Amino acid sequence: MSFEKVAIIGLGLQGGSIGLATQEFLPEVQTSGFDLDPATRARAADRGLVHQVCETAAEAVRDADLVIFCVPPGVMGEAALDVRDALRKDALISDVGSCKQSIAAALREALPDHYVIPAHPVAGTENSGPDAGFAHLFRNRWCIVTPPEHTDLVKLSQLVEFWEALGANVEIMDAQHHDLVLAVTSHLPHLIAYTIVGTASDLEDVTQSEVIKYSAGGFRDFTRIAASDPTMWRDVFLTNKEAVLTMLQRFTEDLTALQRAIRVGDGDALFEQFARTRAIRRSIIQEGQDDSRPDFGRGDHENGTKKI
Amino acid sequence: MSFEKVAIIGLGLQGGSIGLATQEFLPEVQTSGFDLDPATRARAADRGLVHQVCETAAEAVRDADLVIFCVPPGVMGEAALDVRDALRKDALISDVGSCKQSIAAALREALPDHYVIPAHPVAGTENSGPDAGFAHLFRNRWCIVTPPEHTDLVKLSQLVEFWEALGANVEIMDAQHHDLVLAVTSHLPHLIAYTIVGTASDLEDVTQSEVIKYSAGGFRDFTRIAASDPTMWRDVFLTNKEAVLTMLQRFTEDLTALQRAIRVGDGDALFEQFARTRAIRRSIIQEGQDDSRPDFGRGDHENGTKKI
């Protein structure tokens, strides 16, 4: 591994998982980390998310040759400014944010003299904070790297090698295209999930306890991603606004068409729409991006069986 | 158990699961079944979904004191007419459909001289057909029974006892209220999932293979319920039209409000909405209606780990 010391700024789900994965898969690499929240730092130290939890970000990045910002998209620039003077001159700067254009711009503005290669591991759970991370989060997940034009190929390949060591498959992509792709595969689903969970909570005719009780009819699937970190998701929608609004417009058109089919009783249109969506599910399972067991395997597991 | 012979019309996910569960938990009860599709009948016989797979529906219901229709909502009346002359006079008639008002009306019109008590087990997976059923489908799930006014309480308690024996918790509810509750906890989520999977398939700027590859960002959660049986879901939307359109209107209003918040950059409104949805997820898990493990426990299981 080309890196000797990796500094992780932000020790939540992503930062904590990178720290644990680095220690497990790259035991020769030193890891340090910082989080603005003292309670998170304390918990990170307890769990050993990195070798060294520092009291300042500047201390964490000292001597690091790879610095990864794992803070919400809206504060990337601020976090970068905070360490500017402590960075090694040749440190490679990266991040894990879900919107690449705006984050790349913020990091480059804050650190004009450093090499910045943004990245986005498409992996996560609904949990957040220092207890959420685990070493295998990135295994067989895609990590999208969005290098700027004229990127140093040596630095790029070092970053790719790092993510591959953590278990990810790496894809190189243009930042603008990344933001469009993720708007549909991640941002729009989260927005819709947050919306429907909100809608269900606000009804007068149906109580919240009924919504909870009968959630196994489909609703519960949406509550998982709607339990994700609100700060991060607020920032995602504010920083990938254009692409999200574009995708939302398409979704609304399609929903309106189905609404009309229901209203006029057009069973053929409904059937046609519902019949063509199975193939995508099959492909996702074939490509190892979801569990093949019915119901995501819920209740299949011994613990799950007891719960469910 | 008060019933000696249970006849199941329709041997897909629900019918097959009832057959298997009855054999496992009520071994003294005889089970017979019929399905319009000869291939389903053959497979049902191979899997032993019921003791006796019959070549006609009339033969299946002969001597049965409980007859459960497990066909799509749109053909309940037809399926009931088909067996009318072969039914025992005192047979109790029930079903498992997801819309109670229209199905109750169809069954009562087809069988005016019989006792009809509709029911709806809120349980399922994305799979359908004779291979999808399993004996534990109803365990710790709710089964909503919607008796008509002036129901014979003995018959009602027999049906409740039957579902409880299969592992379900039973709730008695007014049919109209059921249709409203399920419109939000089941029908609307399915409609939205079908829509977004369709939207994602139709984009020009993002390829289908990209949608599949990066689906772990949230999209894949929606593909599960969008893989459900298209015939059944077409019928659900046609038969619970009013309640679905009402809920859809509420959802669209809420989505429009969030769209506006994104457009004008109102981070506080977004944060507020995203922060209040976690509590519902927690309650669903506390009430045993979902798995407490992150990511639905996907990848936690040995088989899952290999796949994911």
Q: Do B271 and A231 touch (CB under 8 A)?
A: yes
DSSP line for chain B = ---SEEEEE--SHHHHHHHHHHHHH-TTSEEEEE-SSHHHHHHHHHHTSSSEE-SSHHHHHTT-SEEEE-S-GGGHHHHHHHHGGGS-TT-EEEE--S-HHHHHHHHHHH-TTSEE--EEE----S--STTT--TTTTTT-EEEE-PPTT--HHHHHHHHHHHHHTT-EEEE--HHHHHHHHIIIIIHHHHHHHHHHHHHHT-SSS-HHHHHHTGGGTHHHHHHHTTS-HHHHHHHHHHSHHHHHHHHHHHHHHHHHHHHHHHHT-HHHHHHHHHSSHHHHHHHHHTTSS--SGGGGTTTSHHHHHH-
**Domain range A177-292, CATH architecture:** Orthogonal Bundle (1.10)
Q: Is the pLDDT of residue B303 over 70?
A: no
User: Encoding tokens for residue A159?
Assistant: 């970053």
pLDDT at B265: 97
Q: Is the pLDDT of residue A4 over 80?
A: yes
**Stretch B271-278: mean pLDDT, rounded?**
92
- B142-145 and B119-121: which strand pairing? antiparallel
pLDDT at A296: 87
For residue A182, how many other CB atoms are within 10 A of its CB?
Answer: 29
The minimum CA-CA distance between A228 and chain B, rounded to whole Å, is 8
pLDDT at B182: 97
The CA distance from A143 to A173, in Å, is 10
When scoring B142, B180, B208, B220 by the number of chain A Cβ atoms within 10 A, the one with the most, hence best to mutate, is B220
Domain B5-174 classified CATH 3.40.190.170? no
Average pLDDT of the residues of chain B: 94
Give the closest of A188, A193, A211 to B185, CB-based: A211
The predicted-structure confidence for B90-118, as pLDDT tens digits, reads as follows 999 999 999 999 999 999 999 999 999 99
**Domain range A5-173, CATH architecture:** 3-Layer(aba) Sandwich (3.40)
The predicted-structure confidence for A28-58, as pLDDT tens digits, reads as follows 999 999 999 999 999 999 999 999 999 999 9
Q: Does A226 touch chain B (CB under 8 A)?
A: yes
Q: Is the pLDDT of residue B307 over 60?
A: no
**Residue A142: strand, helix, or coil:** strand
The minimum CA-CA distance between B5 and chain A, rounded to whole Å, is 29
Q: What Rg, from alpha-carbon coordinates, does chain A have?
A: 21
**Stretch B20-32: mean pLDDT, rounded?**
98
Kindly indicate the confidence band of residue B301, based on its pLDDT and cuts at 50, 70 and 90: very low
The 3-class SS string of B169-216 reads EEEECCHHHHHHHHHHHHHHHHHHHHHHHHHHHCCCCCCHHHHHHCHH
The minimum CA-CA distance between A52 and chain B, rounded to whole Å, is 27
Q: Do A254 and B202 touch (CB under 8 A)?
A: yes
Crossing angle (nearest 10°) for helices A241-264 and A175-182 = 30
Please report, rounded to a whole number, the percentage of residues in chain B having pLDDT higher than 90.
Answer: 89
Q: Do A202 and B250 touch (CB under 8 A)?
A: yes
Q: Is the pLDDT of residue B192 over 90?
A: yes
The minimum CA-CA distance between A36 and chain B, rounded to whole Å, is 20
Give the closest of B213, B231, B262 to A237, CB-based: B262
Q: Does B203 touch chain A (CB under 8 A)?
A: yes
The CA distance from A44 to A51, in Å, is 10
Give the closest of B125, B230, B280 to A197, CB-based: B280
User: Encoding tokens for residue B83?
Assistant: 């067996």
Are the C-beta atoms of residues A262 and B245 closer than 8 Å to each other?
yes
For residue B201, how many other CB atoms are within 10 A of its CB?
Answer: 15
The predicted-structure confidence for B277-294, as pLDDT tens digits, reads as follows 888 999 999 999 998 899
Contacts of B182 in chain A (CB under 8 A): 214, 217
Half-sphere exposure of residue A50, counting CA atoms within 13 Å on the CB side?
Answer: 31
Contacts of B231 in chain A (CB under 8 A): 271
**Residue A143: strand, helix, or coil:** strand
Residue of A nearest to B282 (CA): A227
Q: Do B284 and A237 touch (CB under 8 A)?
A: no
The predicted-structure confidence for A196-255, as pLDDT tens digits, reads as follows 999 999 998 999 999 999 999 999 999 999 999 999 999 999 999 999 999 999 999 999
C-alpha distances (whole Å) from B289 to each of A36, A187, A219, B222 are 36, 26, 11, 18
> For chain A, what is the largest distance between any 2 Cα atoms, rounded to a whole number of angstroms?
67
When scoring A223, A245, A250 by the number of chain B Cβ atoms within 10 A, the one with the most, hence best to mutate, is A223
The CA distance from B19 to A258, in Å, is 35
Contacts of A292 in chain B (CB under 8 A): 307
pLDDT at B285: 92
Q: Is the pLDDT of residue B302 over 60?
A: no
pLDDT at B298: 82
The CA distance from A172 to A142, in Å, is 10
In chain A, which among 75-94 make CB contacts under 8 A with chain B? none
Give the closest of A141, A214, A226 to B122, CB-based: A214
Q: Do B255 and A201 touch (CB under 8 A)?
A: no
Give the rounded distance of the alpha carbon of B212 from its chain centre.
27
The CA distance from A33 to A44, in Å, is 9
The CA distance from B237 to B186, in Å, is 11
The predicted-structure confidence for B223-233, as pLDDT tens digits, reads as follows 999 999 999 99
Backbone φ, ψ for residue A126 (5° rounding):
-75, -5
Kindly indicate the confidence band of residue B1, based on its pLDDT and cuts at 50, 70 and 90: confident
Task: Please tell me the CATH code under which domain B177-301 is placed.
Answer: 1.10.3660.10
Q: Is the pLDDT of residue A307 over 60?
A: no
Kindly indicate the confidence band of residue B308, based on its pLDDT and cuts at 50, 70 and 90: very low
In chain B, which among 6-65 make CB contacts under 8 A with chain A? none
pLDDT at A300: 63
Q: Do A291 and B307 touch (CB under 8 A)?
A: yes
User: Encoding tokens for residue B74?
Assistant: 């749109």
Domain ranges of chain B: 5-174, 177-301
Q: Is the pLDDT of residue B22 over 70?
A: yes
**Stretch B240-258: mean pLDDT, rounded?**
97
The minimum CA-CA distance between B304 and chain A, rounded to whole Å, is 6
For residue B65, how many other CB atoms are within 10 A of its CB?
Answer: 18
Q: Is the pLDDT of residue A266 over 50?
A: yes
pLDDT at B300: 63
Q: Does A296 touch chain B (CB under 8 A)?
A: yes
When scoring A99, A136, A186, A196 by the number of chain B Cβ atoms within 10 A, the one with the most, hence best to mutate, is A196
Which is higher by pLDDT, A118 or B293? A118
The minimum CA-CA distance between B211 and chain A, rounded to whole Å, is 6
Q: Do B277 and A191 touch (CB under 8 A)?
A: no
Single out the residue of B226, B293, B248, B246 nearest to residue A305, CA to CA: B293
Q: Does B129 touch chain A (CB under 8 A)?
A: no
When scoring A187, A209, A214 by the number of chain B Cβ atoms within 10 A, the one with the most, hence best to mutate, is A214
**Residue A34: strand, helix, or coil:** strand
Q: Do A206 and B180 touch (CB under 8 A)?
A: yes
- A142-145 and A119-121: which strand pairing? antiparallel
pLDDT at A302: 37
pLDDT at A303: 35
